[in-house]
Amino acid sequence: LDKISIGMLGLGTVGSGVVKVIRDHQDKLVHGVGCAVQIKRILVQDLEKERDVEVDRSIITAISAEIIDDPTIDVIVEVMGGIEETRKLLLRALENKKHIVTANKDLMALHGPELLETASKNGCDLFYEASVAGGIPILRSVVDGFASDRIHKIIGIVNGTTNYILTKMSDEGKSYLEALKEAQDLGYAEADPEADVEGIDAARKMAILSTLGFSMNVGLGDVRFKGISRVSQEDIEYGKQLGYTMKLIGAAEREGDRIDVTVQPALISDSHPLAAVKNENNAVYVYGDAVGETMFYGPGAGSLPTATAVVSDLAGVMRNMRLGVNGHSAVFPQFPKKLKTTDEVFKKYFLRLVVEDEVGTLAEVTSLFSQEGISVEKIWQNPKRGSISEIVLVTHKASQKNFEDILVKLNDSRVVKRVGSSYRIEI
Ligand code: NAP
Ligand code: HSE
């Protein structure tokens, strides 16, 4: 085997990067895995579109069968996105005995088990390192690097677009919409950026990470998620005054045989290294029973960083082809999935209440907290307009159930006009 042929599905942000990395690092691939890579064909939607990379126009096609059913193509590199149509194409490719490398977390979070089983059945590799945390080799680390340990927690920033937006809002006072537009122009956002800003993309990544980390079949429906679209400049500023930074945090925790997986905007201490993770960068902490705390940091989105993860997976497929061991790398979940209930999850919380500034308001608010058994760590009142004031408080650790209950009671209280915002204090 002196050359392998690949067919690419997609030539957008990631696809262009893949072409560049293969072109520029061909000698490293030949040296490392002993054979060269030829890009045989590339699927796109618009044959006329200008591309970010120079490609021989004759290899570009809009007909998927020219790639999926071409017997001379060994590996499919899927960097086009989408779910249902893409799933069908990849299943057909696997039946045609083609290995697959994909960057598609939407697909893997929803149909990972089906695709991995089909790959194994057909003796094919299916690698998806680029689907989580862009250029950071986190999946390989979780599976191989922690093969001897038992992971009990994975926490971090796994979406580049929202981290970019929060950084620009916090450090440069830019508006949410202005920062989102920049993230889109830089190629970080999904085709529909709602997936980023509403936390869905991060939730998919946390489902993939916890499936591998805890060896349980964790799907998108098992992740409680919330995005950043309602995070205000005011909340970011309050966080700063208290010594916290606002981040979209993915957290997967295991105690015994029960797990809890969430994605939400949360406050983290300014002194924690996650607070210093800026722009499109991601960082993931993985805690093992034996190793303790480890941290993985790097670009979480963007053309070349993501392409390095794709092409490294490709090198893995090539190595397996040379050794004749394709189709044996998938690790299937070992344990049944058991989710924690909300009275088993304990966190600190930040709360901003808009209240009537009158005699007894503070006493009423604090008495609701004591009725619910939630201890308040810090509290202060900030006069606004006329008789309206804001009460900002930080709790000690409380169960999520008690916290949800108190939100209902506060909303029903005569003195509280509305709950302005509430966030977990994660670290
Ligand atoms: P993109 O820039 O929108 O590129 C998508 C490419 O796929 C385009 O070339 C498009 O063709 C082609 N395509 C889309 N639907 C198609 C269809 N139905 N038939 C044929 N061609 C089709 O997207 P991207 O940012 O590169 O992302 C691609 C995948 O990588 C997604 O799954 C995304 O979640 C994932 N990912 C992205 C990043 C990132 O930083 N951008 C990082 C990690 C993972 P045309 O060019 O002709 O429109
Ligand atoms: N839209 C994703 C992000 C791309 O911003 O993180 C990388 O997966």
Left if phi > 0, otherwise alpha if psi is -120 to 50, otherwise beta: which for 366?
Answer: alpha
16 lines ligand 1 (CB under 6 A): no
Distance CA 373, CA 337 (A): 31
How far is CA 191 from its chain centroid?
15
pLDDT given for residue 427 in this prediction: 86
pLDDT given for residue 117 in this prediction: 97
pLDDT given for residue 357 in this prediction: 87
Distance CA 422, CA 394 (A): 10
183 alpha carbon to ligand 2 midpoint, in Å? 10
pLDDT given for residue 331 in this prediction: 85
1 pLDDT higher than 80:
no
244 alpha carbon to ligand 1 midpoint, in Å? 35
Query: Which of the ligands is closest to the CA of residue 300?
Result: 2
Q: What are the phi and psi torsion angles at 24 (to 5°)?
A: -80, -20
pLDDT band per the 50, 70, 90 thresholds, residue 2:
confident
228 alpha carbon to ligand 2 midpoint, in Å? 14
Name the helix (H) or strand (E) containing 127.
strand 126-127
Q: Of ligand 2's atoms, which has the minimum distance to the CA of residue 159? A: 6
188 lines ligand 2 (CB under 6 A): yes
Residues whose CB is less than 8 angstroms from the CB of residue 152 and which lie 6 or more positions away in sequence, other chains included: 253, 254, 255, 287, 288, 289
Region 61-69 average pLDDT: 98
Query: Which of the ligands is closest to the CA of residue 191?
Result: 1
104 lines ligand 1 (CB under 6 A): yes
Distance CA 271, CA 268 (A): 8
pLDDT given for residue 382 in this prediction: 87
pLDDT band per the 50, 70, 90 thresholds, residue 87:
very high
Residue 214 exposure: Cα atoms within 13 Å on the Cβ side: 29
Using the structure block, give the residue that is written with the tokens 């008690």.
402
pLDDT given for residue 297 in this prediction: 98
Q: What is the largest CA-CA distance in the chain?
A: 83
188 lines ligand 1 (CB under 6 A): yes
Contact present, 216 and 210 (Cβ < 8 Å): yes
Cβ neighbours around 121 below 10 Å, total: 11
CA angle 281, 282, 283 (to 5 degrees): 130
pLDDT band per the 50, 70, 90 thresholds, residue 158:
very high
350 lines ligand 2 (CB under 6 A): no
Region 81-96 average pLDDT: 98
Q: Of ligand 2's atoms, which has the minimum distance to the CA of residue 202? A: 6
3-state secondary structure of 145: helix
Report, as residue numbers or ranges, the catalytic residues.
205
| Residue-wise pLDDT tens digits, 376-410 | 999 999 888 888 999 999 999 999 999 999 999 99
Q: Whose CA is nearest to atom 31 of ligand 1?
A: 81
Mean pLDDT, the chain, integer: 96
15 lines ligand 1 (CB under 6 A): yes
45 lines ligand 1 (CB under 6 A): yes
300 alpha carbon to ligand 2 midpoint, in Å? 6
| Residue-wise pLDDT tens digits, 280-334 | 999 999 999 999 999 999 999 999 999 999 999 999 999 999 999 999 988 899 9
Distance CA 192, CA 341 (A): 32
11 alpha carbon to ligand 1 midpoint, in Å? 7
pLDDT given for residue 386 in this prediction: 84
Cβ neighbours around 19 below 10 Å, total: 21
Rounded to two decimals, what is the model's pTM?
0.97
